[in-house]
Amino acid sequence: MSEKEKRTVDVAAAQMLDKAQEIGFLTTFDRAKAQEPRCTFGNTGICCRICIQGPCRILPKKPGGNKGICGAADYTIVARNTVRYIAGGASAHSDHGRHIAETLLHVAEGKLKDYQVTDPDKLMRVAKKIGVETEGRSVDDITKDVANAALDEFGRMHEQDLTWITSNCIDSRLAVLHNTTIMPTNINLSIAQLLHQTHVGNDADPVNIIFGGLKTALCDYDGMALATDLSDILFGTGVPVVTEANLGAIKADKVNIAVHGHNPLLSQMVVKAAREMNDEAKAAGASGINIVGICCTGNEVLTREGVAIATNFATQELAILTGAMDAMVVDVQCIMPSLRSLAECYHTKIVTTMPIMKIPGSYHLAFDEHHAIDSAKEIIRLAIDAYKNRDAAKVSIPDVKSTVVAGFTLESLLNIFKKVNPDNPIRVLIDAIEAGEIKGVALFAGCNNLKGPHDYNHLTVAQELAKNDVFMVATGCAAQCFGKEGLLNGEGVQKYAGEGLKKLFARLNEKAGLTTELPLVFHMGSCVDNSRAQELVTLMAKEMGLDNAEVPYVATAPEAMSEKAIAIGSWNVALGNPVHVGVVPPIVGSTLVNDIVTKIAEDVFGGFFFWETDPVKAAGKMVEILEERNWKNRIRAKARQAKEAQ
């Protein structure tokens, strides 16, 4: 690997990094380098800052140094640090879900004129799933009950299992969650309890702490599952769309606005308002307005509106370096504070919109759901104004982009399977597994992490799994990497898929009736839409008559970074899924805790973590896991047949 490839595999990003070097701007790539070498204590998780006697480190060679000042052992410190990440992730995801639920309730109450129930069919499906009466009732009444049921998840004070978990999981899984006492009943309570549990002088038992963490991770799942459902109700359930990805999607002749962050409440309105404001852009001398997406709010509007992907997490600054980004409108999460200083070198306006996310020096325009379209229009006018100050001499947009076929919600994926098997769509995947055409299903999730080259792990793991006939779905920044690198289109299949996988694609393409070929990897949406992937594996489990932990399914976060990614990985484990992480997390400082999450977890939940930074080795291990599950399933089937024959 050359020095340049060590930074990123993304050609457009590499061009912009050269430009940054030329103009002497230090990006996140430089800052990542500056952090090396890392402190071993922090890097392995044995630094405790939970009280201000600390930081305490584990210094085994010094008398009294093998524990923190309070006596906390390495395993206590590592376990506490780990689950506090989960609390952060679950807070972010569930608060996003709560915001959507509140908005949906206000829609049903007639308080918000700019939002509607766009997908009443989904409303009915969700209502039925969670047990809300639909017969003879108005859409508003049903919507109110669904929204209130979601809000109830956050604060109910009676012991009742979380609804989006009980209604999405099969009985065998629910039994595991009950038997291990990790079934949550109240999202906010679990998060608060976990912070309490890990206060100085509280729980010292690493197993008990990890179980508290898993309970909270399930709240993360619940929050995102309801966020997905309610967003679909508000904005529609995506269908296949064709668009493009990478910095080449930024257009020199247009007013470019990037929507960046996570919550579709804002980005949907920006997309909608932009469609009505092309004339204003033209009056300013542009040929129109071009919206592009960064991070998960980009994935939300890609799925539902076909908005192009500009780039993913690690390269967000580089969109500004094109010199043609007129405004970046951000809401919450994964937004680098450095955007502001970079924007100073250009005409770009950074517009923050949420009360809990401001960047000093940037433009703050409080987004108000009561005047959503007006707020969105105001933001777009800022961008049009900024466009007038654009310096053409500073514009250099890499001529790099790939075609993207996205919009694969579970519903739209099943609709394609339905063309092959109208009576039982999910059988299409299972038949292909049983025929040995494919080895199983892999979910790609998570971020970028500059502890390794940008997008390298994502790309390599996917290429390896494709070669080995694994059916792939993806969310988040992983999915955005695949968009940029040409894996979200039919050419990706030709280039990378093994023979078995190609056969399945040939069958699907023949019947799908789309104007384009299906992509190598199915883009299932944003990180909260990992709930869609979990619904997929649960559907497979039901149809195969298995528990989740027996289905040939694996998850991977090849470049995990955020607390949210840690929470997602953790609920995947609790729900029976093996999870690869391509970065060694700060857990290895305690052999005991490391063994709990990588080994003991498998005995208890069927799911487990494994760390592997080498993407080829990681893919090899994932294939092995799928093969082992298939092998066990064949033995089970044989045993069943033998019993029936008796």
Residue 297: which of ligand NFS, ligand SF4, none does it interact with, CB under 5 to 8 A by kind?
Answer: none
The Cα-based distances of 238 to 30, 46, 234, 307 in angstroms read: 38, 44, 12, 12
Whole-number Å distance between alpha carbons of 506 and 495: 14
Cα 614 to chain center, whole Å?
22
Q: Which option in ligand NFS, ligand SF4, none does residue 4 bind, with CB closer than 5 to 8 A by kind? A: none
Tell me: does residue 366 bind ligand SF4 (CB under 6 A): no
Q: Say whether residue 69 binds ligand SF4 (CB under 6 A).
A: yes
- Binder of residue 376, out of ligand SF4, ligand NFS, none (CB less than 5 to 8 A by kind): none
Closer by beta carbon to ligand SF4, 139 or else 200 = 200
CB of 324 to ligand NFS, least distance (A): 22
Min CB(200)–ligand SF4 separation in Å: 4
Question: Residues annotated as binding site for [Ni-4Fe-4S] cluster?
Answer: 262, 296, 334, 447, 477, 527
Residue 11 in contact with ligand SF4, rule: CB under 6 A: no
With CB under 5 to 8 Å by kind, the binding choice for 41 among ligand NFS, ligand SF4, none is none
Collapsing DSSP states into helix, strand and coil, what is residue 71?
coil
Contact residues for ligand NFS, defined by CB under 6 A = 262, 295-296, 313, 334, 446-447, 476-477, 526-527, 561-562, 564-565
Q: Which residue in 9, 17, 72, 429 binds ligand SF4 (CB under 6 A)?
A: 72
User: Which H or E element spans position 116?
Assistant: none
For 520-645, list the strands marked E by DSSP: 521-525, 553-557, 578-581, 608-611
Binding residues for [4Fe-4S] cluster: 39, 47-48, 51, 56, 70
Question: Phi and psi dihedrals of 609, rounded to 5?
Answer: -95, 150
Count the neighbouring beta carbons within 10 Å of the beta carbon of residue 21.
13
- How would you class 89 by CB atoms within 10 Å of its CB: exposed for 0-12, middle for 13-18, buried for 19 or more? buried
- Distance (Å, whole) CA 351 – CA 532: 31
Amino acid identity of residue 234, one-letter, is L
Applying CB under 6 A, which part among 42-50, 135-143, 372-380, 625-633 lies near ligand SF4?
42-50
Q: How far is CA 303 from the centre of its chain?
A: 13
Closest to ligand NFS by CB, 309 vs 441, is: 309
Part of the chain binding ligand SF4 (CB under 6 A), chosen from 45-53, 288-296, 300-308, 607-615: 45-53
Binding site partner of 212, from ligand SF4, ligand NFS, none, Cβ cut-off 5-8 A by kind: none
Task: List the one residue from 11, 26, 70, 73 that touches ligand SF4 (CB under 6 A).
Answer: 70
Q: Which does 527 bind (CB under 5 to 8 A by kind): ligand NFS, ligand SF4, none?
A: ligand NFS
Please, what is the angle between helix 476-484 and helix 295-305, to 10°?
70
| Closest approach of ligand NFS to the CB of residue 226, in Å | 16
Report which DSSP code applies to 370: G
E strands, 250-361, in order: 255-260, 289-294, 308-311, 327-330, 349-352
Residues contributing to the site for ligand SF4 (CB under 6 A): 48-51, 53-54, 56, 68-70, 72, 77, 200
